[in-house]
Structures are given as C-alpha cells and as structure tokens.
Structure 1
C-alpha cells in the first residue's frame, strides 16, 4: 500500500462523504455502482469491509469484480498484503488509510463513498475521537456521534427471514462459481494454520473448508457451517448498525426485502425480465439517490 499522507486543501469537517452500510448480501456494492452510473458519475468508492481489504480469495471474500465495478475507482479493495511485522489491517489502519484516500478523492473534486459491512472500520474512520483501546460494540461506553466529516448514511436492509434465505442461496452460488477450487488452491499454497486469527483466514469459508480438507467434516457439513456463520455475521452487522443509530447517528434505511424476494423467485416479466431490477430501482436506488442529492445540496 502507498505511504499515507495527511495534507488536503479542504478542511476535514467541510468534506462530504456518503456511507453505504448494511448486512452482507443486501446489495451495498450494487447500490454504490448504480448511484455512480445513473446519478453521480464523480463517485469513488472506499471499501470498508475488513476482509475484502486483504489481497486474494476474491470469490470466497465476495469482492466485486472488475466488470461489475463499471470503471468506478475502488480503494482499499484487495490492496493489503500481510507481513510478519504487520499481519492484520486494524481499525486504526483503516482510519489512517481511509482519511488519506478521502483527501485524495476530495482534492480531485470527487465524492468519497464508504461502502462495506465492517461497522468497526466505519466507526474508527468517522468519529472525531477514536480510542483503539476498546470496542464500543462490545462495551457499555456511549457511541461518539461527533464526526470529523459531513456524512450521509444509507442503510440497505432486509427482514431477517428473507435475507437468511437469500444468503443460503448466495453461498450455493459461490460454491458453484469455483469457490471450492479457489480454497483448495489456497490451502495447497499456504498450508493449514493452528489459528484462524490472521487476516484473510478469518474470512467465512476458510476455517470451514480447512476442517474439510483436514478430513474432519464432510463437504456438506462445511457448506452448512458457512451458511450458518454467514447468517450470524449478518445478524451481528445489523445489531451494530442499530447501536450506532440508537447512539445518535442519522442513518436512513432503505428496504431491499422485496428485491431479494424477487431475485430468489422464478417469475418473469413480459420480455423475460426478472422483476427484481424494477423493484430495486423503485424501492432502493431511487430513494437512495434522493437522499444523496438532498445531502449534497445542503
């Protein structure tokens, strides 16, 4: 990663940034790309997923592909390569690196979009006073709502039963899209580990299939564990967003439930089009665009 600098021509508090939050699978990356291609061409995205920041395992970590990015510049996505002296990318690292990238983007006259599901990273980046010594999501300490930028928060959400069903389907699709082969190649190259605490080894799919390749569980059991752990992750992410919202952050929710339901259905519109796209535009994309437009005009 490039050396971090701190200079900027724009005072920090006058910088406007958009933050797209939500549980895994709700469509955060898709929303950022759609907003860029339909409404705000000056967007640049800063990834705030703490697993996707690591280099490698693109399918397992569900990184947005180059084709799907539609030419939109993405920062801190697959950039970090752990070393012996720096094995993990911490919230403090993200605070420093994210601030540097925001400076770069704003100085180019563009709009930074922070996109990802790691709320500990988002919190570390945005609050004026950050203490890495404790996790506000695991403590009774109050949420700091004094932020060092002007922020617009959009929460892409879906009701749990529908999201869980969709996440199960997505895991099956990932396994059908060479996730298994990617993990097999990873373990052949990197070997096994006595600890899953190092960087990308925390990614859902890695510890589960490590047990499979060691002969401890079956393929079906590994797949079921991935689904269960993905659902647990989504629930944890939603609880953290609610903690921030209840702590005073002005987070505006858009509902992707109907979109996910339509994506799982087989019903087609006239012409063979799945209704999910139209529902997405009406219930998620257009309301989000209005929120962002109002924020940028303030």
Structure 2
C-alpha cells in the first residue's frame, strides 16, 4: 500500500515581494551591532509562525536578497519542506530606477540625512560593522571631518558635501545592479519560480494616469491575481484581505 502523501498540498503559504531597493536606516538595531543573515532568518521564522497562527498570510517585503536566499535555501531552517513560497519581483527599468535613486537621495538630504549620519559619526570608526556600513554613512566621512576644520572655507566644505552626495547616488546604483544580478541568479541557478512584474510605466513622467491609478493597474492588481491563484487551494483556512 502506498502511504506517500504529497507534502506540497499541506505546506503553509508564504509570499515574498522582491526587488531592488534604495538606501535606508534601521532604527531597531544598535549602530555597532551586525544584523546577520542568520539573525534575519531566526526572526523571520518566528514572525512567520506568529502570523500563520492568526490564519493570515506572511508577506516578506524587501530585505537583502542574500538574506532571503539563506532563509529559503539553508537546510537548517527547512523552509522548502515546511512552506510553499510565492515570489513576486517588482522591477523597474534601470534608467528610470537611476533617476528615482537621485531624487530619493536628494529628498533624504533635505529630510536630514547629514544630521542623522552626524549623530553616529565617530572619527576612525569601523565602517565594516553595523549600520555604519550602510550606504550614506561612509560616504559622509570626509565631509564630517572637514566640517570641524576651522581653517576650511565654506565653499570647499560645500563642494565636499556635494561629492559625498554624488558618491551616495553612485554607490546606490551599484547596489541596485548587484541586487538585480542576485535575483537573476536565484532564477537561473536556484531555479526559483519568480513572477516578474514590470512597474516602469508607473514611474514615467509622461504617464497619462495618476500615480495611484497607474500603480493599481500595473502592479497591485496583477500581484493580487497572482496571490489569489497561489492561495486558491490552500488547506489552512487563510484569511485573504484584498482591500
């Protein structure tokens, strides 16, 4: 008698929203501490189970693709055995993404990026650990050193600041390229089945729809359609809220 049961039917559902990201600062982690891939996985598993107990679908949004890969692929966490994953990749054309990066960095500067970095600035700090290795922090080192130089003139300091901002933009673009390459590798080498949503039209300046309408039509609705199909035969009485 064949007692084999298809485990695929009884796996719990988890959704991943992937894509290239800009810069950001975490306020939940001490500046000098490292939040490792293992830390991420341990926390993710805890919260996934908490959410599943409420009969809702865990959705993991963003984060390092390397961290997501470890969570899914590392046999220690048995993720593939316990969970059925739906991967959705929100993608934007590189030229449009680069323009958005420049705008976002400028907005961050206006919102107080320099003050935020100044708050954690320590001369000769180790920029390989914790939040200090985040894009936006090491690039400001030269400016913050020059800022305290009483012999430096304001014009020179402003030039250094602009150079620092340009470095943030350049390094963010490089980060995006690396992130996109990692997603492509997960598809080609790890054989992840990833739903590819192209969101470029949403961010084009000459779009005819307003931003919210364009986002709904181009990104949100296709994602909801994918998720509905993914959850169609779920055996865990998942609550679906598509409002």
* Fold equivalence (TM over 0.5): yes
* Structure 2 counterpart of 1:101, from 36, 40, 47: 47
What residue number does 2:210 align with? Answer: 275
What residue number does 2:61 align with? Answer: 115
Q: 1:147 Cα shift?
A: 5.7
- What's the secondary structure of 1:23's corresponding residue? coil
Indicate yes or no: 2:107 matched with 1:173.
yes
Indicate yes or no: 2:70 matched with 1:127.
no
Cα separation, partners in 2 of 1:111 and 1:278, compared to 1, 3 Å: same
What residue number does 1:17 align with? Answer: 14
Indicate yes or no: 2:183 matched with 1:241.
yes
Indicate yes or no: 2:227 matched with 1:227.
no
What residue number does 2:34 align with? Answer: 88
TM-score, scaled relative to structure 2? 0.79
Maintained 8 Å contact 2:30/2:130 = no
Cα separation, partners in 2 of 1:260 and 1:18, compared to 1, 3 Å: same
Inter-partner Cα distance in structure 2 for 1:101 and 1:239: 28
Q: Could you list the structure 1 runs, at least 4 aligned residues long, displaced by more than 6 angstroms after superposition.
A: none
- What's the secondary structure of 2:58's corresponding residue? strand
Superposition pairs of residues 176-187 of structure 1, within 5 angstroms: 176-187=110-121
Inter-partner Cα distance in structure 2 for 1:236 and 1:130: 26
Q: 1:202 Cα shift?
A: 1.3
Maintained 8 Å contact 1:91/1:121 = yes
> What whole-Å deviation, never above 9, does each CA across 1:261-298 have from its counterpart, x for those lacking one?
23xx6x8x7xxxx7222211111111011111111113
Unaligned runs of 5+ in 2: 1-7, 147-156, 234-243
- What's the secondary structure of 1:204's corresponding residue? coil
- What's the secondary structure of 1:175's corresponding residue? helix
Maintained 8 Å contact 1:212/1:222 = yes
CA RMSD of aligned residues (A): 2.5
Maintained 8 Å contact 2:11/2:81 = no
Unaligned runs of 5+ in 1: 1-10, 26-59, 64-77, 132-144
Q: Which protein is richer in helix relative to its size?
A: 2
Q: 1:237 Cα shift?
A: 0.3
Q: 1:111 Cα shift?
A: 1.3
What residue number does 1:291 align with? Answer: 226
Maintained 8 Å contact 1:156/1:253 = yes
- What's the secondary structure of 2:111's corresponding residue? helix
- What's the secondary structure of 2:30's corresponding residue? coil
TM-score, scaled relative to structure 1? 0.65
What residue number does 1:72 align with? Answer: none
Q: 1:82 Cα shift?
A: 6.1
Cα separation, partners in 2 of 1:114 and 1:128, compared to 1, 3 Å: same
Higher relative contact order (CA 8 A, sep 6+): 2
What residue number does 1:260 align with? Answer: 203
Higher-Rg structure is: 2
* Structure 1 range deviating more: 215-224 or 251-260: 215-224
